[in-house]
Chains A and B, each alone.
Chain A
Amino acid sequence: MFDINPGLMVWTVITFVVLVIALSKYAWKPLLKSLRDREDSIRQALDQAEKARAEAAELLKQNEQNLVKAEEEYQKIIREGKTFAEKLKEEVVAKAHQQAQREIQRAKEEIQRDVDAAKQQLRSEVADLAVLAAGKILDETLDARKHKKIVDSFLNQLPNS
């Protein structure tokens, strides 16, 4: 069992050397190459995926920022609109108020004028009536004293205005 057979050793060495030479060229080289290629492509794909992921994250961040900005802008617009509407409302109300005041003033003045005119007219009519009454009294009993008394009492009966 332990005796060395040189012939078998020669066979082994020759077989092995031939196998190494043949397989190096026809088996291991292509096998290792396809292995390396695949590893490279996987590594590349992973790198690309990582890059794409980073890009997507960047985009997402940008989108979020844009969204926040848009939100702010829209809030601002609403705020501005509100203040503008408020101002407009106040202005309109103030104007209307003014207008109304003016109208009221004018109406008052007109009323005053009418009242004055009416008073004037009344006075002149009262005078006429007095004269008429005086004439009638004179027709009956013309007494200076009586006459004066009548006129005074008449005048006193008139309203003060």
Chain B
Amino acid sequence: MVDTLKHAAVSAADTIHVPAAHVAAEHAEKFEFSHLLAHMQNSKTLEFPGGHIDLPQFPPIHLGSVTIDLSMSKHVFFLLLSALFVAVFAIYAANRNRKNIIPKGIGNLFEIFIVFIRDEVALPNMGPGGLKYLPFLLTLFFFILIMNLLGLIPYGATSTANISVTAALAFVAFIMIQAVAIREQGVAHYLAHLTGGVHWSMWPIMIPVEILGLFTKPFALCIRLFANMNGGHIVLLALIGLVLLFRSVIVAPLSVVFSVGVLMLELFVAFLQAYIFVMLTSLFMGFGMQSEHTEEDAEHSHS
């Protein structure tokens, strides 16, 4: 992994053009594939058409045994870029919608998603009381969506294909789910719920299980988003890699056709995963907002 990172300076597009004659065939193949894979990795350089720039590096901060490296990297850059995009477009849309009674253009586009998140995600999962958490869900949705989509444009990178990013998002979701549960039920009720409502003699078994249950939900969120965003890319790279593997132009048309198909699928998956992440988060938040009885029902009906 670290080795591939070091080779990541060249983009996949460049890689295909690397003349294979210069190096030994076996080595070249390895070299090119590692470059293809490196395309998905985080890196310290930012590529753009016609060159690349080295991102600013900061000395890592040591916090006890944890080393926090706040240096800019490709994924940090696209993370911030997504945030900027979301902020600019959302605020622009908000201003436009304030002026236009009938929304149009980007204001309309935003509203479609907002209405969807509100009516299809927040209201069914959390009820009318969940509307106050709508800004959180909307931000989560658009942030993830733009990060997913930025990976599909050339020279872009999918920040959500990095497990650190999805872990952090899942962490935020986890904090939010617990905070909502505590806020809506009260601490006593929240703790009582950790016992699973069984006889006290079962508590030594029940409490660890329930606590584990608290963590599995965001863990699943984290892995799901990460794996989905990686999966499409890996398939794409594998299809392009076929050309390199066979060292033949004949394979290229097939590869391209399949790549286009997979890319379309990825476009769909980008939306789908953003939706699923937000939907599940709101669902888990909704569990914390309901009374115990209905919560059990909801969990049963959903599993």
Name the residue in A2, A12, A16, A17 with the highest tally of chain B Cβ atoms < 10 Å from its Cβ.
A12
Contact in complex: A4, B115 (CB < 8 Å): no
A1 interface residue, CB < 8 Å from B? yes
When distances are taken between beta carbons in the complex, the residues of chain A under 8 Å from B42 are: 5, 8
Among A1, A19, A31, the residue within 8 A (CB) of B41 is A1
When distances are taken between beta carbons in the complex, the residues of chain B under 8 Å from A11 are: 70, 76, 79-80, 168
The prevalent SS among residues of B at the interface is helix
Chain A positions 1-60 with a Cβ under 8 Å from a chain B Cβ: 1-13, 15-20, 22-24, 26-32, 34-35, 38
Among A5, A30, A32, A38, the residue within 8 A (CB) of B164 is A5
Closest to B168 in A: A12
When distances are taken between beta carbons in the complex, the residues of chain B under 8 Å from A17 are: 172
Among B69, B97, B103, the residue within 8 A (CB) of A7 is B69
Contact in complex: A8, B76 (CB < 8 Å): yes
When distances are taken between beta carbons in the complex, the residues of chain B under 8 Å from A32 are: 114, 118, 134-135
A7-B71, A8-B164 are contacts. A26–B91 as well, Cβ < 8 Å?
Answer: yes
Stretch at the interface among B10-18, B136-144, B278-286: B136-144
Contact in complex: B68, A34 (CB < 8 Å): no
Contact in complex: B143, A16 (CB < 8 Å): yes
Contact in complex: B66, A6 (CB < 8 Å): yes
Give 5 A-B pairs besides A3-B1, A31-B97 with Cβ atoms closer than 8 angstroms.
A5-B42, A9-B167, A23-B139, A30-B95, A31-B94
Give the B interface residue count (CB, 8 A). Answer: 50
Give the A interface residue count (CB, 8 A). Answer: 32
When distances are taken between beta carbons in the complex, the residues of chain B under 8 Å from A35 are: 97, 111, 114-115
B67 interface residue, CB < 8 Å from A? yes
Contact in complex: B139, A19 (CB < 8 Å): yes
Stretch at the interface among B82-90, B206-214, B243-251, B293-301: B82-90
Among B69, B79, B91, B135, the residue within 8 A (CB) of A12 is B79
A9-B168, A22-B87 are contacts. A30–B98 as well, Cβ < 8 Å?
Answer: yes
Chain B residues within CB distance 8 Å of chain A = 1, 41-42, 60, 66-71, 73, 75-76, 79-80, 83, 86-87, 90-91, 93-95, 97-98, 101, 103, 110-111, 114-115, 118, 134-136, 138-140, 143, 159, 162-165, 167-169, 171-172, 230
Contact in complex: B66, A19 (CB < 8 Å): no
Contact in complex: B86, A19 (CB < 8 Å): yes
- Min CB gap B100→A, angstroms: 9
Contact in complex: A4, B87 (CB < 8 Å): no
When distances are taken between beta carbons in the complex, the residues of chain B under 8 Å from A2 are: 163
Among A1, A13, A27, the residue within 8 A (CB) of B90 is A27
When distances are taken between beta carbons in the complex, the residues of chain A under 8 Å from B91 are: 23, 26-27
Separation of A15 and B76 alpha carbons in the complex (Å): 10
Name the residue in B68, B73, B140 with the highest tally of chain A Cβ atoms < 10 Å from its Cβ.
B68
When distances are taken between beta carbons in the complex, the residues of chain A under 8 Å from B97 are: 30-31, 34-35
Separation of A38 and B98 alpha carbons in the complex (Å): 11
A7-B60, A16-B168, A30-B97 are contacts. A23–B114 as well, Cβ < 8 Å?
Answer: no
Among B70, B103, B139, the residue within 8 A (CB) of A16 is B139
Separation of A15 and B84 alpha carbons in the complex (Å): 10
When distances are taken between beta carbons in the complex, the residues of chain A under 8 Å from B80 are: 11, 15
